[in-house]
């Protein structure tokens, strides 16, 4: 935190909150009786403070200006709510906000007039809104309030509530790669056709290519084929046609203004009916999904996996006799644990094993590749590249040749692609203390 006074009317405070640097600029503008030169000098000082500020700025204080009701062409710096009428000093404040791309937060939210004015005359007859909070953090502003505090002043405090915490992503969608899992016949057909096209020129790029280059081209061919198969399938809608029609009707009624009494009654009835229908549609979808997996596989485990809409995150892990709940620190604890677990302590033994296995190895043939691909199990988690076992099994006839070339080149060159040194480790809780990493098994 750092404070600096620019002049008797302007000061700047540098803050660091939630990994965000924010500059607070406090202002006190000359009164209405001041000359234009004084006003321009004041705004020059504020601009000087802005040049010294960070990227995120809040400019606040008594500007002795009335912006009144915002105009339609001012939507870049104001919303649609205001108080009173505008004066010349208000025009100057609007111009300042435009020049520095600062939004006037007082206009963001609808409030009663009694909750908007910030200054009252000594006789209590005149009330104006002359204190403002300008910012480029408008997307973080959640509320603006004028505070009634019991202290002797002709001004009321303006409080703006900012939520600087970033929105948490759903764990199911966090860093996920949307690709086809090849369940329907149409998906499989499109995948095979696209894969064949992508590998058509394999004979031209298999020569004079490194292990890494061949691996990248095979991965790219599978990846693009899976995405094309995914795009060909329409997303299944859980809601029924009747429910979606009623939702559309509700949206139409919400936009109509003014509404008649019959429209209001219809809208009221739609809210209740749609809520019940959505609950019914989701319940039916759940039942049908469970029935499908019970009939085909005799188990509901896969059904629950498909129906699951979120993934839980480990709340905390112990490190150095303390429990950390920070996500980055949890990842670091797990990383260090598995580095130590898989570390080879006896280097001499590793070198001896390497020498013993350095004899000539017979080349791998395509039949061996196809045979081992057929043994892969379905419904298994893919690696960092997102390619499932189903993608290899379905595309085995086309993938056999390039994979054979890749594996034989790995044996001859004694090198592996970079991706083969990477893996995703998923911790599955067993029993005991959930904050102890030793109580998790790996997947």
Residue 30 has pLDDT above 80, yes or no: yes
Cβ–Cβ < 8 Å for 90, 40: no
Task: Look at strands 56-62 and 20-28 and give their pairing.
Answer: parallel
Q: Backbone phi, then psi, for 317, in 5-degree steps? A: -135, 145
Number of H helices, E strands in the chain: 13, 14
Measured CA to CA, the distance from residue 407 to residue 365 in angstroms comes to: 10
Domains of the chain: 2-162 (3.60.10.10), 241-307 (no CATH), 313-442 (no CATH)
Measured CA to CA, the distance from residue 329 to residue 332 in angstroms comes to: 5
The per-residue b/e assignment along 283-321, b for 16 or more CB within 10 angstroms, e otherwise, is: eebeeebbeebeeeeeeeebbeeeeeeeeeebeebebee
| DSSP conformational letter for 441 | E
Measured CA to CA, the distance from residue 366 to residue 396 in angstroms comes to: 10
Which three-class secondary structure state does DSSP give residue 266? Answer: helix
Write out pLDDT tens, residues 373-385.
999 998 887 888 8
Question: Which of the four pLDDT bands, split at 50, 70 and 90, describes residue 275?
Answer: very high
Measured CA to CA, the distance from residue 196 to residue 133 in angstroms comes to: 61
Structure pTM? 0.52
Angle ∠(170,171,173) on CA atoms, nearest 5? 70
CA distances from 70 to 86, 103, 107, 230 (A): 9, 12, 8, 48
Measured CA to CA, the distance from residue 425 to residue 83 in angstroms comes to: 58
Measured CA to CA, the distance from residue 139 to residue 160 in angstroms comes to: 12
CA distances from 107 to 37, 104, 158, 269 (A): 28, 6, 12, 34
Cβ–Cβ < 8 Å for 14, 50: no
Residue 93 has pLDDT above 60, yes or no: yes
Mean pLDDT over 77-95 rounds to 93
Q: Determine which of 170-179, 245-254, 364-373 has the lowest per-residue pLDDT on average.
A: 170-179
Cis peptide before 258 (omega within 30 of 0): yes
Packing angle between helix 211-231 and helix 396-413, nearest 10 degrees? Answer: 160
Task: Look at strands 2-5 and 10-17 and give their pairing.
Answer: antiparallel
Percent of the chain scoring above 70 in pLDDT: 89
Helix (H) or strand (E) holding 285: helix 261-297
Residue 358 has pLDDT above 60, yes or no: no
How many CB atoms sit inside 10 A of residue 65's CB?
24
Residue 297 has pLDDT above 70, yes or no: yes
- pLDDT score, position 171: 52
- pLDDT score, position 57: 94
| DSSP conformational letter for 290 | H
- Render 139-158 in DSSP notation, one character per residue: GGEEEEEEE---SS-SB-EE
Token pair 């509530």 in the structure block, residue: 161
Across the chain, mean pLDDT equals: 86
Question: Which of the four pLDDT bands, split at 50, 70 and 90, describes residue 199?
Answer: confident
Angle ∠(27,33,35) on CA atoms, nearest 5? 80
Which three-class secondary structure state does DSSP give residue 427? Answer: strand
The residue among 213, 177, 191, 200 whose CA lies nearest residue 393 is 191
Mean pLDDT over 416-421 rounds to 89
**Size of the chain, expressed as the number of residues it contains:** 443
Measured CA to CA, the distance from residue 207 to residue 215 in angstroms comes to: 13
């Amino acid at each position: 935190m750092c404070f600096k006074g620019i002049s008797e009317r302007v000061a700047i405070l540098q803050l660091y909150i939630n990994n965000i640097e924010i500059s607070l600029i406090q202002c006190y503008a000359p009164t209405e009786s001041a000359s234009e030169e004084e006003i321009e000098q004041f705004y020059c000082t504020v601009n000087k403070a802005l040049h010294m500020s960070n990227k995120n700025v809040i400019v606040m204080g008594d500007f002795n200006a009335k912006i009144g009701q915002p105009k339609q062409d001012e939507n870049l710096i104001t919303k649609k709510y205001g108080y009173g009428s505008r004066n010349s000093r208000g025009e100057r404040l609007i111009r300042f906000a435009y020049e520095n791309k600062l939004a006037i937060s007082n206009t963001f939210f609808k409030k009663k007039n009694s909750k908007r004015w910030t200054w009252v005359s000594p006789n209590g007859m005149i009330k104006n809104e002359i204190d403002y909070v300008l910012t480029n953090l408008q997307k973080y502003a959640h509320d603006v309030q004028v505070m009634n505090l019991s202290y002797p002043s002709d001004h009321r405090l303006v409080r703006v509530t900012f939520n600087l915490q970033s929105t948490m992503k759903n764990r199911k969608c966090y860093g996920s790669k949307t690709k086809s899992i090849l369940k329907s016949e149409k998906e499989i057909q499109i995948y095979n056709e696209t894969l064949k096209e992508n590998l058509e020129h394999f004979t031209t790029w298999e020569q004079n290519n490194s292990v890494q280059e061949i691996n990248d081209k095979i991965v790219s061919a599978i990846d693009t084929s899976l995405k094309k198969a995914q795009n060909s399938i329409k997303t299944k809608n859980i809601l029924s046609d009747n429910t979606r029609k009623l939702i559309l009707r509700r949206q139409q009624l919400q936009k109509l203004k003014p509404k008649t009494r019959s429209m209001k009654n219809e809208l009221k009835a739609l809210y209740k009916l749609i809520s019940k229908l959505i609950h019914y549609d989701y319940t039916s979808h759940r039942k049908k999904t469970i029935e499908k997996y019970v009939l085909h596989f005799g188990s509901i485990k896969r059904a629950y996996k498909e129906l699951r809409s979120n993934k839980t995150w480990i709340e905390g892990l112990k490190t150095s006799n303390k429990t950390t709940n920070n996500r980055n620190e949890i990842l670091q604890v797990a990383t260090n644990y598995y580095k130590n677990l898989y570390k080879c302590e006896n280097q001499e033994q590793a070198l001896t094993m390497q020498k013993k296995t350095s004899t000539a190895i017979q080349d791998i043939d395509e039949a061996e590749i196809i045979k081992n691909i057929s043994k892969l199990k379905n419904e298994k988690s893919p690696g960092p590249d997102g390619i499932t076992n189903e993608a290899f099994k379905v595309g085995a006839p086309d993938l056999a040749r390039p994979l054979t070339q890749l594996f034989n080149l790995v044996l001859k060159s004694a090198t592996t692609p970079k991706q083969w040194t990477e893996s995703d480790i998923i911790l599955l809780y067993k029993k005991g203390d959930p904050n102890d990493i030793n109580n998790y098994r790996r997947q």
